[in-house]
Amino acid sequence: MMSGINLHRWSAWTPDRETPETWRDWARGASVNAGTGRGTEREPPPVKAIPPLLRRRAGLLGRAMLQVLSRPEMAYAGEPLIFCSRLGEFSRVLALQKELAQSDTLSPQLFSMSVHNAAGGLFMMAQKANAPLTALSAGAEAVSAGLTEAAIQLADGAEKIWLVYGEEPLPEAWWELAASSDEQTDYFALLFELGPGDEFTLVPDASAEAAKATLPASPLELLRFFLSPEASSLPLSSRSHLSLQRKAAGA
């Protein structure tokens, strides 16, 4: 399989980084982590572009996703959306479980908004759009799953795809159960507008470098790869042996 994609535009948010400049600085830095976010109270982004009656339904991760989706410079024009998250709004699932343990009545609002396509649904309602919406929960393989889905939709004729990644910090109740390999991250949301092209290619990769990659690429590693012109290849997954390769300069 060879699937060519171009990156048209991107948008990213964490509590500490809002502007493209701060993200470019981050991409040049040593650590790919956007901060752990553990035990820190975080202010959600204001997301003023989304009407209050819809916005109130979104949790902090949902608001982070809505923030990158509704930035004026992105100017949504009905592109198909793909939402990828490993755990989604996990803190809401935890709140529901606590509620269930204490009583038999669950908050309908929390329940309806605890699913992976919640933020996408709110965005579509705000935009009055009816474009295709895909929500993927692929565990640690979210990056390769999202890019594969995007490549498939582009190969199938879509002119543009909006690919969205987002995670929130693991709730405190899970800290001691988290494997050391579990990504510890602050809230983040990333949006990539992709189109067909030959800038990047999704290729099977049986190279030694790919085999060495024991951890699947994280969404933040994908952003860093996109922002690093000198990087030629990003191993995505040790399971699917997929790599994202950048077209060599002048090739």
Q: Does 52 engage in binding with other proteins (CB under 8 A)?
A: yes
Residues in a beta bridge with 7? 194
Task: Indicate which single residue of 15, 26, 37, 57 sits in contact with other proteins (rule: CB under 8 A).
Answer: 57
> Cβ contacts of residue 60 below 8 Å, gap of 6+?
42, 44, 91, 168, 187
Residue matched to tokens 């809505």: 66
Per CB under 8 A, contacts with other proteins among 139-198 are none
Residue 24 or residue 56: which is nearer to other proteins going by CB? 56
Question: Under the criterion CB under 8 A, does residue 102 sit at the interface with other proteins?
Answer: no
Q: Are 205 and 233 in contact (CB under 8 A)?
A: yes
Question: Shortest Cβ distance from residue 111 to other proteins (Å)?
Answer: 9
User: Distance between CA 106 and CA 229 in Å, rounded?
Assistant: 49
Does residue 106 bind other proteins (CB under 8 A)?
A: yes
* Residue 37: partners with Cβ closer than 8 Å, 6 or more residues away: 15, 168, 169, 184, 185, 186, 187
Closer residue to other proteins (CB): 53 or 177 = 53
Out of 19, 100, 112, 132, name the contact with other proteins by CB under 8 A: 112
56 binds other proteins (CB under 8 A): yes
Q: Please pick, from the candidates 108, 157, 229, 250, the single residue that binds other proteins as defined by CB under 8 A.
A: 108
Q: Which is nearer to other proteins, 40 or 107 (CB)?
A: 107
Instruction: State the residue for tokens 């474009």.
Output: 131
Calculate helix-pair angle for 118-127, 60-69, nearest 10 degrees. Answer: 40
Residue 97 is a binding residue for other proteins (CB under 8 A): no
Write the single-letter amino acid at 100: L
Binding residues for other proteins (CB under 8 A): 52-53, 55-57, 103, 105-109, 112
